[in-house]
Each structure stands twice: as structure tokens, then as C-alpha cells.
Amino acid sequence: MASREVIQYETPLSKAFRGFCAVFLAFYVVWTVLPLFIMFMSSFKDLLEAFKLPAVGDWAGVTVFFEFTPTTKHYYELFANLGFSTYLFNSLVAAGGSAVVSVILGSMCAYSLSRIDFKGKGDLFFWIISTRMAPVVAVMVPLYWIFRQLDLVGTLPGLILAYTTFNLPFAIWILKGFFDNVPYAIEEAQMVDGATRFQALRAILPLVAPGIGAFIVLCILFAWNDYLFAAIIGSGGAKTLPVATRELVQPQNIQWGQIMAAGVVTTLPMMFLGLVIRKYLVTGLTMGAVKE
Amino acid sequence: MAKVSFRNVWKKYGDIPAVKDLNIECQDGSFLSVLGPSGCGKSSTMRMVAGLEHITSGQILFDERPINDLAPKDRDVAMVFENYALYPHKSVYENMANPLKLRGQDAAVIKERVTAAAKLLEINHLLERRPQELSGGQKQRVAIGRAIVREPNLFLFDEPIAHLDAKLRAHMRGEIKHLQRTLGTTMIYVTHDQLEAMSMADMIAVMHDGELQQLGTPRQVYNHPVNAWVAGFVGEPAMNFVDVGVEDRAGRTHFTHQNFSVAVTEEQQRQISNGSRESVLRMGVRPDALSISMTKPSDSCITGKIFVTELLGGDMIVDVDLDDCRIRVKTSTEFSGEEGQTCYMTVNTNKWHAFSKENGKAFF
């Protein structure tokens, strides 16, 4: 096998470019990590301490930032009095439920599209993905009306259905690519070995596991971070974390401490999920697929 | 084990026929090789037997029982695929155990059978590995192992050794033949390599353009090809074809050409005169039915000019230019002719062939 090494030769230009990259990346890290850091710190601060800021240009004053007595009162308030445990549960069920439903329906649909030739298959496939082309806001009103007629507004099943509507085309699109990469001969071998068509499908599922894993993460992320659907379809009975957090901004005052704590509660599970499933996500999204 | 019969089997993809009116009887326990170039319909034939494709019309029977409408799992056949089709996420053991597991066998029986098959194929030290960790030859053995763990009606081998290197291929030819003889299971073996078919099969079915050209033993197919296409496809180096005139000289038919004029035998004369009145025929002669020398042996020899000589270890192939074509002669390594020299070839008239120029059918 040939070497995979990328050959590069130094020129003054490439050196300058590398320097520029280093500076850019440094700023980028600050830009992305600092807000999270401030959120995390502020969630453990009393309101007065949280607003103690050094004067502009006073770099030594940065230490002010770290001078505080840690308190968990915001978290206590969220879970004891504001019902955040319910909202956390709603978020988990809505995101997880739609991911599971989308994966089951999506993998069956993707399998059919990948394996069976029928008339109008190309058109059907395009129609499926075209449902994702309109922005969510554009379909919000009709969707709300439909959900209203079906008595699904403000219920968890309603929210799961709404997320599934948008996740399913995506699931089919991603998973079809993965099924395409699994040689059909493997299923044929299964069938000759004595499997039914359905058993053969089940037997190749481990081969598309990276795709399923990657899709589950994207699906959960979409539902977890969604505000629009949750605010409109889920309003009332199926309130999720983003909506509950938004409600901490009240006309009289803004509950900064609780907002920061709610931000942490919302962000941490996703960061954890990302860490757990990082390997799948990378191999999955690069379509590293199946090698025989 | 079963006898397999094809009765007027057709396979069409849309309007395009891939297999045309196929009739073959494959006896119980025999080794049938389906031979043909790519696109000749041989793989379609095998896939129809396995149940992976529908039969457009006609019948395939196992022991006189039609199997047209049975699902693959109910046909009880075992197949080895060209690309092995091993399950990449399963170990060798699990790959081989799969057909037994799907049939609900006990774990103890599965273990016993898999171990026995692995021993037979000399892969028992690989049982814990995954397919990616195996060489081509090992993968191929695992694929065969998966086929032989149960006792199916029929083995279907779809070019199983096409992807191995030449040396291993030669080795596996012997092994597969021996395996089939040992197990005694009927085998249909698809290949495009005439050497594989010749060396392994009891019967060869030669296919071309979806049609069965000839069904016969390897000897019959090699020594008595029914038409020019079969004659040209079977045998390596390939048969030489030269267009010759047919002339009567003193009551004996001669094949004449700018470079030679050779009399046919009495029986061959009868076979031609029964067959047609064509004045031009295709004469076919295999490279080993010609002998070459640098001195003129007789008047009825073919005169040509050496184009190139190829030494193949034990043999030598000499390409000779005639006035309008080039032919190849197989000779011993002692042959000393050099490029550009005039040489003389004598035909073994018991081993030559004549085909119709119109439809390619063999006279003898």
C-alpha cells in the first residue's frame, strides 16, 4: 500500500500562513469556549457577584471574576420550585422518542429505497428530501392547525410526531447511503443460508450501525435544541428546557442566575452524549462504511 | 442431494433475454460446470437455481420437484459467492455457524459440524478471526466452509476462485474437486475460466449469448466441439482458425489455401459431403495438433514465416504468419527457429476440425 503521508514543503508563505492559522485558532477557541465558561461560572454565583466586572483595560482586575462564594441556589430553585425536572423529562422523551421512531421507520424506508427498484423511485426519493427544503417557520401554521385538529397540541406524542416529521427525511437520506454501501451479496448469502428477507435485513443492521449512531445524535440534537416546535406545538403540556429557560425572562426582571443554570442543565447532557458517541459520529458522517 | 433439471428455462430482464430456452440435466452427485464468457447468462442461471432471481418461464426441478416458487431458504442449497459475501462483523466461527443457527440447530451440533468443516478445510486455527483479518484464500475457504457445514441438496459455486492468484487457484481447483468427490453432493460450478471447467467438472455446459452451446464431458467438449465458438473458447492456447477452400483432387477432398493443400481423411470427406456444399470452410486446428520443423517434411505441409517464439518453461509457442492470417503452434523447447525464418508445419489430420462458414456448425 502506498504511503498516506501528505508531502509538504516549507516556503515563507506557508510559514506565514501557519502563524496566521495559530492566531486564528486561538481566537476561535476563546470565542467558542468563553461563553460556555462564563455560563458555567455564573450559574454558581449570586446575582451581585455575577455582575462584578473589571473595568475596560484593567487586565489585573480579571481576578474579580474568580472571587465569589459558590452557591447552588439557582439549581435548587430550578428543580425544587420551577419544575425543571418535568421539563428535563419532556426534553429527554421528545428527543429520544423522535430519534427512536425516526430510526425505525427511516431504516426500513432507506432499506427499501436502497434495495428495491420500482417506478418513480427517484422522484419519491427527491420528494422525501424536498420536505426538508422549506424552512420550518413556513410550515408552522398549517402544521399547528393539523395538530390542533388531532388534539396533539401540548402533548408529548404531538411533539415527538412533529420532530419525527422533520427528522425522518433526514434519516432516510443518511441511512440510504449506508445501506447502499453494504454489498447486496451479504443479504443474498443470508437468504441462501436460510434467512427470510426480514432476517436478512436484521443481519446487516450491525453494518449500518455507524450510520444509525450518527443519525441518532443529529436527531437528538435537533429536537433537544429546538425552540420553535416546542414553543408552538409543545406549549403548555409538553414544555421542554429551551422553552422553560426562555420563560425565565420575565417582564419585571431577568433571572440571570437561573438562566445560566438552566443553560448548564441543557448543555451538559448533549456534551456528554457527544463525548460518548464521538467515535461513531466521525466514522458515521465520513461514510466510512463497510469494507468486506 | 438431488438431481437438477432445467426444462425450457428462460430469463428475461425487461425484453432482453439473458438465458434462452435452457435444457440441462445434472445427475445426482455429479459436478456440472457452467462455462462461458461474462454476460453469457451463466450467473443468471445459477441465481435462478438459488432462488435469488425469478424464473421468467420454464421449470427448474430438484429430483423432479419444481422449485420455481420456493424461497431461497426452502430450496436447501448452499452457495459460494464470487466475492465470498462473508459477514464482516462476525467471526469465522459465527460465519460458518450461521446457516445452522438459522435452521435452529443445537449449539452442540453446530459446534461439532463447524469444527469438522474447519478441520476439513484446514482453517480451524482461524475460527476466532474476522474476515478482514484473512487472506483471499482463507476467506474463500471460510465461504466454502459456510456452504458445507450443512448437507444441502446442491452446492452452487459462483466463480469462487476467480479472485485468487494463479498459484492458489491451481491448488484450490484440486481441493474443490476432491471436496466434491468426498462429500458426493451435486455441484453446479459457474466459471469463465475454461481451464477450471476442464479440470474439475464431470459435465460442462458451455453457454454463449444466453444459449447453451454444448453439454458434454470435458473430453467431448475439447475433442468434439459442436461449433466454432465452443472450439475457440475451450482450450489454451486457443484453436487456430483458417479459411480454406474445398477442392476435389483425384476423388479426395482437399483443404486448400495459399500456403498449403492438405487432404482430409475418408471419414471426414463423408462428413463434409453429408453436411453442405459450401466451397469455403473454416478449418480449425489446435496448436498441439500441429508439428513444426525448419526443413520441409512433405508436400502437404503448411509453409509460413515465424513471427515470434514464446518460451513457456516446458513448452514453446511459435506464432507463425501465413499469407492472410497468423496461427500458433505448440512445440518442444528444442525448436530452434528464429523470427523471420521460413518454417513448415504438418497437421495431424485426425485432430483437426472443419466448421461451416455460415453458421459455425462443426462437420468434424
pLDDT at A289 over 60: no
Q: Which of A53, A74, A95 is the last residue of a domain?
A: A74
Closest chain A residue by Cα to residue B131: A292
| A6 Cβ neighbours under 8 A, 6+ residues apart | none
Residue with C-alpha cell 447486496?
A184
Choose from B79, B102, B134 for mutation: most chain A CBs within 10 A: B102
- Do A57 and A155 reside in the same domain of the chain? no
One-letter amino acid identity for B122? E
The strand pairing partners of B353, in sequence order, are B284
**Does B237 sit behind a cis peptide bond, omega within 30 degrees of 0 on the bond before it?**
yes
- Do A169 and A29 reside in the same domain of the chain? no
- Do A128 and A221 reside in the same domain of the chain? yes
Cα–Cα separations (whole angstroms), residue B205 to A109, B45, B197: 41, 11, 9
One-letter amino acid identity for A158? G
For position A285, what pLDDT does the model report?
A: 54
For position A283, what pLDDT does the model report?
A: 62
The verdict on residue A147 lying in a domain is yes
- Percent of chain A predicted with pLDDT > 90: 32
Domain of A52, in residue numbers: 12-74
For position A21, what pLDDT does the model report?
A: 95
Q: Please, what are the domains in chain B?
A: 4-233 (3.40.50.300), 240-356 (2.40.50.140)
The tally of domains found in chain A comes to 2
Beginning with the edge strand found earlier in the chain, give each strand of the sheet holding B252-257 in spatial order: B260-263, B252-257, B240-249, B280-285, B352-356
A interface residues, B as partner, C-beta within 8 Å? 183, 185-186, 188-196, 199, 203, 206-207, 290-292
Judged by CB atoms closer than 8 Å, whether chains meet at A192 and B71 is answered as no
Q: Under DSSP, is residue A249 helix (H, G, I), strand (E, B) or coil?
A: strand
Which of A135-144, A280-289, B330-339 is predicted with the least confidence, judged by mean pLDDT? A280-289
- Do A17 and A111 reside in the same domain of the chain? no
- Option in A188, A192, A207 nearest B89 (CB): A207
CA B230/CA B319 separation, integer angstroms: 22
Please check whether residue B51 touches A, CB under 8 A: yes
For residue B102, the chain A residues in CB contact (below 8 A) are 190, 193-195, 199
Give the closest-approach CA distance of A200 to chain B in angstroms.
Answer: 11
CB B240 within 8 A of CB B328: yes
pLDDT at A290 over 50: no
Give the closest-approach CA distance of B236 to chain A in angstroms.
Answer: 32
The verdict on residue A292 lying in a domain is no
- Do A88 and A52 reside in the same domain of the chain? no
**Best mean pLDDT range from A73-82, A212-221, A233-242, B4-13:** B4-13
- Option in A185, A186, A195 nearest B73 (CB): A195
CB B244 within 8 A of CB B219: no
Q: Tell which residue, B129, B133, B142, B135, has the closest CA to residue B165.
A: B135
The verdict on residue A62 lying in a domain is yes
DSSP code at position A172: H
The verdict on residue A6 lying in a domain is no
- Do A108 and A231 reside in the same domain of the chain? yes
Compute and round to an integer the Cα radius of gyration of chain B. 25
Which of A4-18, A100-114, A153-167 is predicted with the least confidence, judged by mean pLDDT? A4-18
- Do A135 and A237 reside in the same domain of the chain? yes
b/e map B130-161, b = 16+ CB within 10 Å: bbeebeebbbbbbbbbbbbbbebbbbbbbbbb
Closest chain A residue by Cα to residue B47: A188
Please check whether residue B99 touches A, CB under 8 A: yes
For residue A189, the chain B residues in CB contact (below 8 A) are 79, 81, 85-87, 146
Q: Which of A74, A97, A118 is the last residue of a domain?
A: A74
pLDDT at A231 over 80: yes
3-state SS of chain B? Answer: CCCEEEEEEEEEECCEEEEEEEEEEECCCCEEEEECCCCCCHHHHHHHHHCCCCCCEEEEEECCEECCCCCHHHHCEEEECCCCCCCCCCCHHHHHHHHHHHCCCCHHHHHHHHHHHHHHCCCHHHCCCCHHHCCHHHHHHHHHHHHHCCCCCEEEEECCCCCCCHHHHHHHHHHHHHHHHHHCCEEEEEECCHHHHHHHCCEEEEEECCEEEEEECHHHHHHCCCEHHHHHHCCCCCCEEEEEEEEEECCEEEEEECCEEEECCHHHHHHHHHHCCCCEEEEEECHHHEEEECCCCCCCCEEEEEEEEEEECCEEEEEEECCCCEEEEEEECCCCCCCCCEEEEEECCCCEEEEECCCCEECC
- Option in B85, B89, B156 nearest A206 (CB): B89
Closest chain B residue by Cα to residue A200: B102
- Indicate the length of chain A as a whole number: 292
- Option in B73, B84, B132 nearest A191 (CB): B73
Give the closest-approach CA distance of B330 to chain A in angstroms.
Answer: 39
pLDDT at A65 over 80: no
For residue B85, the chain A residues in CB contact (below 8 A) are 183, 185-186, 188-189, 292
Mean pLDDT, 10 residues at a time, over chain B (364 residues)?
A: 91 93 94 94 93 93 93 92 89 94 92 92 91 89 91 91 86 90 93 93 95 95 95 93 90 88 88 78 93 89 92 92 92 90 92 90 90
Residue with C-alpha cell 514543503?
A9
Q: Under DSSP, is residue A254 helix (H, G, I), strand (E, B) or coil?
A: strand
Cα–Cα separations (whole angstroms), residue A50 to A37, A57, A267, B276: 13, 19, 20, 109
Cα–Cα separations (whole angstroms), residue A255 to A8, A74, A78, A82, A176: 54, 9, 11, 12, 46
For position A2, what pLDDT does the model report?
A: 56
Judged by CB atoms closer than 8 Å, whether chains meet at A185 and B85 is answered as yes
- Do A40 and A128 reside in the same domain of the chain? no
Question: Region A197-205: what's the mean pLDDT?
Answer: 89
Choose from A182, A190, A192 for mutation: most chain B CBs within 10 A: A192
pLDDT band at A291 (very low <50, low <70, confident <90, very high): very low
- Do A91 and A47 reside in the same domain of the chain? no
The verdict on residue A66 lying in a domain is yes
Q: Distance between alpha carbon A54 and the CA centroid of its chain, in Å?
A: 36
Judged by CB atoms closer than 8 Å, whether chains meet at A185 and B81 is answered as yes
Judged by CB atoms closer than 8 Å, whether chains meet at A189 and B81 is answered as yes
Residue A283 parent element (H or E): helix A256-285
| B120 Cβ neighbours under 8 A, 6+ residues apart | B148, B179
Q: Tell which residue, A229, A102, A114, A215, has the closest CA to residue A168.
A: A102
A211 CB burial (10 A radius; 0-12, 13-18, 19+): buried
The verdict on residue A237 lying in a domain is yes
Give the closest-approach CA distance of A186 to chain B in angstroms.
Answer: 5
Judged by CB atoms closer than 8 Å, whether chains meet at A291 and B78 is answered as no
pLDDT band at A287 (very low <50, low <70, confident <90, very high): very low
Judged by CB atoms closer than 8 Å, whether chains meet at A192 and B79 is answered as yes
pLDDT band at A281 (very low <50, low <70, confident <90, very high): low
CB B179 within 8 A of CB B120: yes
- Do A49 and A138 reside in the same domain of the chain? no
The verdict on residue A7 lying in a domain is no
Please check whether residue B96 touches A, CB under 8 A: no
The verdict on residue A3 lying in a domain is no
For position A278, what pLDDT does the model report?
A: 76
CA B281/CA B362 separation, integer angstroms: 10
For position A292, what pLDDT does the model report?
A: 41
Instruction: Supply the ipTM of this predicted assembly.
Output: 0.83
Query: What is the CATH number for A247?
Result: 1.10.3720.10
CA A144/CA B333 separation, integer angstroms: 89
Judged by CB atoms closer than 8 Å, whether chains meet at B88 and A192 is answered as no
Q: What is the dihedral of CA B60, B65, B67, B68, to 10 degrees?
A: 60
Give the closest-approach CA distance of A114 to chain B in angstroms.
Answer: 17
Retrieve residue A280's grid coordinates: 461513531
Please check whether residue B328 touches A, CB under 8 A: no
Q: Which of A28, A49, A74 is the last residue of a domain?
A: A74
pLDDT band at A229 (very low <50, low <70, confident <90, very high): confident
Give the closest-approach CA distance of A221 to chain B in angstroms.
Answer: 29
- Option in B51, B79, B88 nearest A291 (CB): B88
Question: Region A231-244: what's the mean pLDDT?
Answer: 86
For residue A291, the chain B residues in CB contact (below 8 A) are 88, 132
- Do A131 and A149 reside in the same domain of the chain? yes
B30 CB burial (10 A radius; 0-12, 13-18, 19+): middle
Question: Region A100-106: what's the mean pLDDT?
Answer: 93
CA A188/CA B322 separation, integer angstroms: 52
- The mean of the pLDDT values for chain A is 86
Closest chain A residue by Cα to residue B102: A194
- Do A172 and A240 reside in the same domain of the chain? yes
Residue B355 φ/ψ, nearest 5 degrees: -125, 150
